[in-house]
Each structure stands twice: as structure tokens, then as C-alpha cells.
Amino acid sequence: MSEAAECALRTLWIGAGATVVMDLWAVLRQRLFGIPSLDYALVGRWLVHLTRGRFFHDPIGKSPRVAGEGAIGWTAHYLLGIAFAAVLLAGWGLEWARQPTLVPALIVGIGTVLLPFCVMQPAMGAGFAARRTPRPAMARFQSLITHSVFGVGLYLAAWVARVAGF
């Protein structure tokens, strides 16, 4: 297999795997602590409205629903996870994927919190870094934890691939 093909396959595996770990965390967090996870249909709604020229919502929940918003949001969620895995491999190379270590995965995972803080939350009506939410500090903390879990997921998915002989 060429290095380009190997890199593409590992990127898909690591990104999707890390996103699954993040989603499992969301389920566990909800069951143990009653903390609801993000409704990815709202992400889909935002993306569809974005194609119609509307970037900001106040809040997104009040914007009109769109057909297929759930599927669009979940697809975007997984594609973003794969894109962030591509960032990790672009920064640390294919050798990292072959012999993964935790620190680079955490750097990228924690760094991904910038997307919701700087883009998604302001665009969806929650303000920069969730400042317009009822409990901004808690929202920020939960985002940071979730994206840290995503970073651990990047490492775990790469580790599973290595152990499986991929």
C-alpha cells in the first residue's frame, strides 16, 4: 500500500474512532451526571442555513427546522473528527499513526475546542466561548473535557490500529 493510501485509511480510522469515543463519553456523561449532549441536528440546521446565507442565529433552536438536519449534523460531526485526525497526521506524520503517543493527540484534541468556542457557539447564538449561556464557565469546562476526550480517542484509535496490525 502506498504511503498516501495508508495515510488516508489511518486518517479515516483515527478520526471516526476518536469521534466514537467522544460520542460514548457524551452518552456516559448523560447517564451518570444528567448532562445532555449537543443535539447534532442543530449543527445540521446551522449548516443548511449557512448555505442560504445566514451565519448567525439567536439562538439556533428558534431558527426554522430543515429537512434532514439530523443526518446532516451527524455526518458533519464525523467528517470534522476525520478532518481533525488529518490535522494530527499532517502535524506529526504517518510515523505518529504507526507508533502513537498521547501528547500529540491531546494537543490536537484540546485544540479542537477552538472551533466551538470561536465559530459554532457564536454562530448558534451562545456567544463567544458560550458567554451567553446560563452557566458559561460550566459550558466551557464541559467543552474542554469533551474535546480532551476526543484527543484521548485520537490516541486510542491509533493504538487500536497498531495493535490490530493495521
pLDDT tens column, 144-153? 999 999 999 9
Write the burial class of residue 124 (CB in 10 Å: 0-12 exposed, 13-18 middle, 19+ buried): buried
Crossing angle of helices 69-98 and 136-163, in 10° steps, is: 50
pLDDT digits (tens, 9 = 90+) for 88-138: 999 999 999 999 999 999 999 999 999 999 999 999 999 999 999 999 999
Whether the per-residue pLDDT at 1 is higher than 90: the answer is no
Q: Above pLDDT 90, what percent of the chain?
A: 94
pLDDT of residue 37: 87
Q: Residue 46's CB: how many other CB atoms inside 10 A?
A: 25
pTM: 0.94
Confidence band for 26, pLDDT divided at 50, 70 and 90: very high
